[in-house]
Amino acid sequence: MAWYVKKDIAETKHVRKTLWVKCKRCSSHIYESEWKKNLNVCPNCNFHGSITSKERIELTFDKNTFKELYANISPLDSLKFVDLKGSYKDKYEANKKKSGINEAVVTGHGKINGIKAVAAVMDFRFLGGSLGSGTGEKILRAANYALKNKIPYIIFSESGGARMQEGVLSLMQMAKTCSGIALLNKSNIPFISVLANPTTGGVTASYAMMGDINIAEPYAVIGFAGRRVIEQTIGEKLPDDFQTAEYLLDHGFVDTIVNRKDMKDYLSNILSYYNR
């Protein structure tokens, strides 16, 4: 369920004192300034790399319209989880400091080309965007906010899955978040799921797959079981396109694939059809 993709470590490496980004998909080296200017998308192969929640909010919402909610929620080390590298508490405290956010998701509401939306934006920098209790709480609260105010809800996922360091409490966040989605369904409030690279494990097996509309970014890895686990099970190597956005589109699990630069207009276009 909870598997982690090592990804963006490779994306900002100091090579010969110049900042380069190595594209995870095509391995070409891109100047960091060029990479950033291109919204962290590879100019060579269109692989969509990680962006921070802050960047995604800026790209999606009209200037100065996004109001963050529930920012004071953060993780708790209720299992006193310690692995070889140390305690979960030390890990999330370091992540909080490094990322400037308190959890793996930023929640709030704002306007997309003038249309109101509630959003939860996952951030891979925070413990691999993993779904823990605080993450689930924020996603549910935002869903309830959308329900109460009858505003469409959008979740942007970028996550390795459920957070191991909170054990079954993390697993239960799948049920917790989906119970919020269930209430939106019953009240006919639209829920749009945007799946970025990667969206895997318990996040895919809960809200990320439950969008009334599922939108993926190009070449995003989206799947349930980890690639390595499957390869071990079947004893052979999987094709390169396995569990990509394109593969999911082929198999009927996402509605469409949208480039990051077009996402805002695509979302507002869809939302413009909401007639309640």
Residue numbers of the site for another protein (CB under 8 A)? Answer: 1-4, 72-76, 78-79, 81-85, 102-103, 132-134, 136-137, 140, 162-164, 166-176, 178-179, 181-183, 185-186, 201-202, 204-210, 222-226, 229-230, 232-234, 238, 242-243, 251-253
End-to-end CA separation in angstroms for the chain: 37
Place of tokens 């030390």: 90
SS (H, E, C) 122-175: ECCCCHHHCECHHHHHHHHHHHHHHHHHCCCEEEEEEECCECHHHHHHHHHHHH
Contacted by 23, from another protein, Zn ion, none: CB < 5 to 8 Å by type:
Zn ion
Contacted by 118, from Zn ion, another protein, none: CB < 5 to 8 Å by type:
none
At closest approach, how far in Å is the CB of 186 from another protein?
7
What size, in residues, is the chain?
276
Binds Zn ion by CB under 5 A, chosen from 44, 78, 187, 259: 44
Nearer to Zn ion, 25 or 89 (CB): 25
Provide the 8-state DSSP code for 244: B
99/96 Cα distance (integer angstroms): 5
The alpha carbon of 262 is separated from its chain's Cα centroid by a whole number of angstroms, namely 17
At closest approach, how far in Å is the CB of 180 from another protein?
8
Provide the 8-state DSSP code for 197: E
Cβ distance 152 to 66 under 8 Å? no
Q: Does 154 bind Zn ion (CB under 5 A)?
A: no
The alpha carbon of 126 is separated from its chain's Cα centroid by a whole number of angstroms, namely 11
Contacted by 44, from another protein, Zn ion, none: CB < 5 to 8 Å by type:
Zn ion
At closest approach, how far in Å is the CB of 22 from Zn ion?
9
Contacted by 123, from another protein, Zn ion, none: CB < 5 to 8 Å by type:
none
Q: Are strands 13-15 and 67-69 parallel, antiparallel or unpaired?
A: unpaired
Q: Does 42 bind Zn ion (CB under 5 A)?
A: yes
At closest approach, how far in Å is the CB of 61 from another protein?
25
Contacted by 45, from another protein, Zn ion, none: CB < 5 to 8 Å by type:
Zn ion
At closest approach, how far in Å is the CB of 37 from Zn ion?
15
The alpha carbon of 83 is separated from its chain's Cα centroid by a whole number of angstroms, namely 25
Contacted by 26, from Zn ion, another protein, none: CB < 5 to 8 Å by type:
Zn ion
At closest approach, how far in Å is the CB of 226 from another protein?
7
53/209 Cα distance (integer angstroms): 20
- 37-45, 66-74, 86-94, 111-119 -> range binding Zn ion (CB under 5 A): 37-45
Provide the 8-state DSSP code for 182: H
- CB neighbour list of residue 60: distance below 8 Å, 6 or more residues apart: 112, 119, 156, 263, 264, 267
Binds Zn ion by CB under 5 A, chosen from 1, 2, 5, 23: 23
At closest approach, how far in Å is the CB of 221 from another protein?
11
Q: Which of residues 45-64 bind Zn ion (CB under 5 A)?
A: 45, 47
Residues that bind Zn ion (CB under 5 A): 23, 25-26, 42, 44-45, 47
